[in-house]
Amino acid sequence: MTEPLLSVRDLKKHYPIRKGVFNRQVGAARAVDGISFDIAPGETLGLVGESGCGKSTAASSVIRLEEPTAGEVVFNGNGREGAARTPDGTHPNDVTRFDDDELKAFRRGAQMIFQDPSSSFDPRMSVGNAVGELLKVHGMSDRHRRRAIVEDLLERVGLSANDFDRYPHEFSGGQKQRIALARALVLNPDLIIADEPVSALDVSIQAEILSLIDDLQEEFGLSLLFISHDMSVIRQICDRVAVMYLGEIVEIGPVEGIFSDPQHPYTEALLSSIPTPDPRASVGGIELKGTVPSPTNPPSGCRFHTRCHKVIQPEGVDVDQDDWRGLLNFRDSVVAGEIDVEQVRENVAAGETAPAESEVRAELRREFDIGETVDDPDLERTLSEAIGLLLQDDDERAGEILSNAITTPCAQTEPARTVHGPDHESACLRHEGRASAEPNPADD
**120 counts as binding other proteins under rule CB under 8 A:** yes
11 - beta bridge partners? 35
Nearer to other proteins, 112 or 398 (CB): 112
Tell me which stretch binds other proteins (CB under 8 A): 160-168, 315-323, 355-363, 366-374: 160-168
Residue 189 Cβ vs other proteins, minimum distance, rounded to whole Å: 10
- Mapped onto helix, strand or coil, the DSSP state of residue 251 is strand
- Mapped onto helix, strand or coil, the DSSP state of residue 149 is helix
Nearer to other proteins, 178 or 430 (CB): 178
From CA 338, how far away is CA 334, in angstroms rounded?
6
**170 counts as binding other proteins under rule CB under 8 A:** yes
The letter for the amino acid at 352 is E
Nearer to other proteins, 139 or 433 (CB): 139
Residue 186 Cβ vs other proteins, minimum distance, rounded to whole Å: 5
- Its sign, for the CA torsion 190, 195, 198, 200, is negative
Tell me which stretch binds other proteins (CB under 8 A): 146-154, 229-237, 362-370, 394-402: 146-154
Residue 181 Cβ vs other proteins, minimum distance, rounded to whole Å: 12
From CA 294, how far away is CA 338, in angstroms rounded?
17
Tell me which stretch binds other proteins (CB under 8 A): 161-169, 289-297, 350-358, 418-426: 161-169
Among 38, 43, 94, 151, binds other proteins (CB under 8 A): 151
Q: Is 337 exposed, middle or buried (0-12, 13-18, 19+ CB in 10 A)?
A: exposed
Nearer to other proteins, 107 or 331 (CB): 107
Q: Is 278 exposed, middle or buried (0-12, 13-18, 19+ CB in 10 A)?
A: exposed
Nearer to other proteins, 43 or 163 (CB): 163
From CA 196, how far away is CA 403, in angstroms rounded?
41
**226 counts as binding other proteins under rule CB under 8 A:** no
**287 counts as binding other proteins under rule CB under 8 A:** no
- Main-chain phi, psi angles of 420, to 5 degrees: -110, -20
Nearer to other proteins, 229 or 431 (CB): 229
DSSP state, residue 434: B
Provide the H-helix boundaries in 277-368.
321-336, 341-349, 357-367
- Contacts by 281-290, CB closer than 8 A, 24 or more apart: 289/329
Q: Under a CB-based contact definition with an 8 Å cutoff, are residues 244 and 225 in contact?
A: no
Nearer to other proteins, 58 or 153 (CB): 153
Q: Which of residues 318-357 bind other proteins (CB under 8 A)?
A: none
**123 counts as binding other proteins under rule CB under 8 A:** yes
**148 counts as binding other proteins under rule CB under 8 A:** yes
**181 counts as binding other proteins under rule CB under 8 A:** no
Tell me which stretch binds other proteins (CB under 8 A): 170-178, 284-292, 338-346, 397-405: 170-178
Altogether, the residues listed in the chain come to a count of: 444
Among 70, 187, 348, 349, binds other proteins (CB under 8 A): 187
**How far, in Å, are 182, 243, 274 from residue 233 at the CA level?**
21, 14, 10
Number of residues binding to other proteins, judged by CB under 8 A: 53
- Main-chain phi, psi angles of 28, to 5 degrees: -150, 140
Nearer to other proteins, 39 or 179 (CB): 179
Among 85, 97, 138, 434, binds other proteins (CB under 8 A): 138
Question: Nearest to residue 74, comparing CAs of 32, 11, 126?
Answer: 11
How many helices (DSSP H) and strands (DSSP E) are in the chain?
A: 14, 11
For the chain, the C-alpha Rg in angstroms (whole number) is 26
Q: Is 311 exposed, middle or buried (0-12, 13-18, 19+ CB in 10 A)?
A: buried
Among 3, 50, 125, 274, binds other proteins (CB under 8 A): 125
From CA 151, how far away is CA 3, in angstroms rounded?
35
Among 35, 39, 63, 319, binds other proteins (CB under 8 A): 63
Site string for other proteins, 69-108 (x = CB under 8 A): ----------------------------------xxx-xx
**How far, in Å, are 168, 215, 266, 305, 370 from residue 367 at the CA level?**
51, 51, 23, 20, 8
- Mapped onto helix, strand or coil, the DSSP state of residue 217 is helix
**134 counts as binding other proteins under rule CB under 8 A:** yes
Tell me which stretch binds other proteins (CB under 8 A): 142-150, 244-252, 255-263, 377-385: 142-150
- Chain positions contacting other proteins, by CB under 8 A: 60, 63, 65, 103-105, 107-108, 111-112, 114-116, 118-126, 130, 133-141, 145, 148-149, 151-153, 165-172, 180, 183, 185-188, 220
